[in-house]
Structures are given as structure tokens and as C-alpha cells.
Amino acid sequence: MTGMQLTGGRTSRRGFLGHTVTAAAAGLAAVSTLSVSGCSDSMRSASGRKSNGFIGKGDIVLLQGDSITDAGRDKKREDNANDVRALGTGYALFIASQLLGEPADASVKVYNRGISGNKVFQLANRWDKDCIALKPNVVSILIGVNDIWHTLNGEYNGTVEVYERDYRALLTRTQQALPGVRLVICEPFVLRTGAVTDKWFPEFDGYRAAAKRVAKDSHAVFVPFQATFDEAVKSAPPAYWAGDGVHPTIAGAGLMARTWLDVVSHAKA
């Protein structure tokens, strides 16, 4: 991504988060990206979500994860639902714009509580405040890249087994605390460019498989982001979608939002 710096082969998160666009520009980019990618059809199908019951009037939707979800959000405003600055400049903002606008329904409340650098155990450490206390009806989680990345750079001693064990425990805890909660598990993804080298593989594929198993066993909706980007690189190079191979560009975030909306709009409660 233009303007990001690499230090020792690792992308600086400060550099990434510092390279944000204004909320207004992000909103315009969201509309442009989703329209160009054909998301008008997705939006129409998403408007049917009220009838299939996965997301309904008055629902609280929580988007959780690491820096991909965080996307430079203003944490001082995080208690404000549907706040453009609190939602960040990534896929969470784009999803919220469609949930609130097609059809128009401000009764849905969307929160972004992603935090840059988080791994599964760090989600668990803040889960009471950043999930349970909000009493969400829908919880969407994208986590996993840091669980392997920080292991590769020596900052964390994690394994696929630890990731899966911690993830299962987190979801069990969530379902016990929030009976009837609807879960959306997003597949962790990377693109082979920037910080993502051959040393990520095949281990990273194990994290993806673990997330899919956890989703199935938790009766959660599974969003196949890796498959989406694998298809996208047939039409544009990896850096077009994620400059460092991990953090999406505006085009990548728009594609994520479209994929999420397509999957969730067809899910059953």
C-alpha cells in the first residue's frame, strides 16, 4: 500500500494506520467500489435479510477483530453506534453503510471494536467489555493473521492448535453469555505480496481450516474471504487488493464488504 514502510520485512502498523483517508472519502470510496464490483445486486439481496431474519430491526451488530477490522477507527467514539469515525475506514464502515441504507433503517446499531495487533487470546481478555456488555444480536469475528504473523517474527509463541482451542473457548463463552446470539466467523486471509512470503505456508492454511471447523461446530455463518481474494487476483494483482498482503486497500475492503453482505444476506437465523 502506498506510503507504508517495511522494517525487517514487517509492515509497520503505525505506518499503515497513519495512511488513512478521511471519513468522507472513505464513504465515497465505499459506494464507488461496491457499485463497480456489482454490489448493487448484493445490496438488493441484503435488503431481503429482514425477511430471512438473520439481521432484523433493532439488532445490534458487532464487528470484531484485529487491524483489518480496526482500520484506524476513533476509539474515543467507540460507544457511538453507526458513527462514521468510530467505524474506521475499512470493511466495517462499508458493511454498516449498506445495512443502514438499503433499505433505510437506523434502528440497526453497528459497532466496530477491532483492535490492531490482536490475537484470539487478546479478544478473550477484553471480551466482557467489548462484546458481552454490548449485548449484540450478531457478532462477526475476523481473527487469525496476527496469531501466525507474530509467531513468525518472534513476538508470540503460538500454534494452530492454540488458535483453535482459544477460538472455541471464546465462542462457547459468547454463546453462554448471549443465548441466541448469531455468529459470523470470517476466514482469515492473506495475499502473496509485501510482508507475506513463502514462509507463511503451508501453516497459514491450517489457521484457515481451523477457523472453518470452529464456525461449523459453533453453527456460525462462515465468510470465505480467502476464496474471494484468490478469485480477485485473477483480475488485478495482489497489491491492488492488499498492499502489504494483509491490510486491504479501499478496493479490498469494498470486496470484503460485498462478500460479507452476500453471505450474511442468504444466511438463516
CB neighbour burial string for 21-35, b if at least 16 within 10 angstroms, e if fewer:
eebeebbebbbebbe
Q: How many structural domains is the chain composed of?
A: 1
The pTM of the full predicted model, rounded to 2 decimals, is 0.82
Q: What is the pLDDT of residues 154-200, one digit of tens each?
A: 999 999 999 999 999 999 999 999 999 999 999 999 999 999 999 99
CB distance 70 to 111 below 8 Å: no
From the CB of residue 253, how many other CB atoms can be counted at a distance below 10 Å?
Answer: 28
Predicted confidence (pLDDT) per residue in 249-268, tens digit: 999 999 999 999 999 999 98
DSSP 136-202: -SEEEEE--HHHHHHHHTTS----HHHHHHHHHHHHHHHHHHSTTPEEEEEPP---SSTT--GGGTT
pLDDT value of residue 268? 83
Distance set, CA 75 to CA 18, 67, 115, 203 (Å): 15, 13, 9, 33
- Residue 140 annotated as catalytic: no
- Burial status of residue 105 (CB atoms within 10 A of its CB: 0-12, 13-18, 19 or more): middle
CB atoms within 10 A of CB 224: 17
Q: Is the model's pLDDT at 151 over the cut of 80?
A: yes
131 belongs to a structural domain: yes
Q: What is residue 8's predicted lDDT score, i.e. its pLDDT? A: 35
pLDDT average, residue stretch 229-234 = 98
DSSP assignment string, 204-229: HHHHHHHHHHHHHHTT-EEE-HHHHH
Domain of residue 140 covers 6-265
Residue type at 125 in one-letter notation: N
Mean pLDDT (whole number) for 62-66: 98
Provide the 8-state DSSP code for 4.
-
1 falls within a domain:
no
Q: What's the pLDDT at 105?
A: 80
Q: Tell me the C-alpha distance between 124 and 166, whole Å.
A: 8
67 is catalytic: yes
**Residue 73: exposed, middle, or buried by beta-carbon count in 10 A (0-12, 13-18, 19+)?**
buried
62 in a structural domain = yes
pLDDT at 56 over 50: yes
Q: Considering 166, 247, 262, 265, which one is annotated as catalytic?
A: 247
User: Residue 12 carries which DSSP code?
Assistant: -
Which tens digit of pLDDT belongs to each residue from 209-225? Answer: 999 999 999 999 999 99
Q: Is residue 115 part of a domain?
A: yes
Could you tell me the CATH number of the domain that includes residue 97? 3.40.50.1110
All three cell numbers of 193: 505480496
Task: Look at residue 40 in the predicted model and tell me its pLDDT.
Answer: 41
Out of 38-42, 105-109, 110-114, least confident range:
38-42
Active-site entry in 42, 59, 67, 70:
67
37 as an active site residue: the answer is no
Q: In this model, does residue 18 exceed pLDDT 70?
A: no
Helices 160-177 and 203-217 pack at an angle, to 10 degrees, of 20
| pLDDT for position 7 | 33
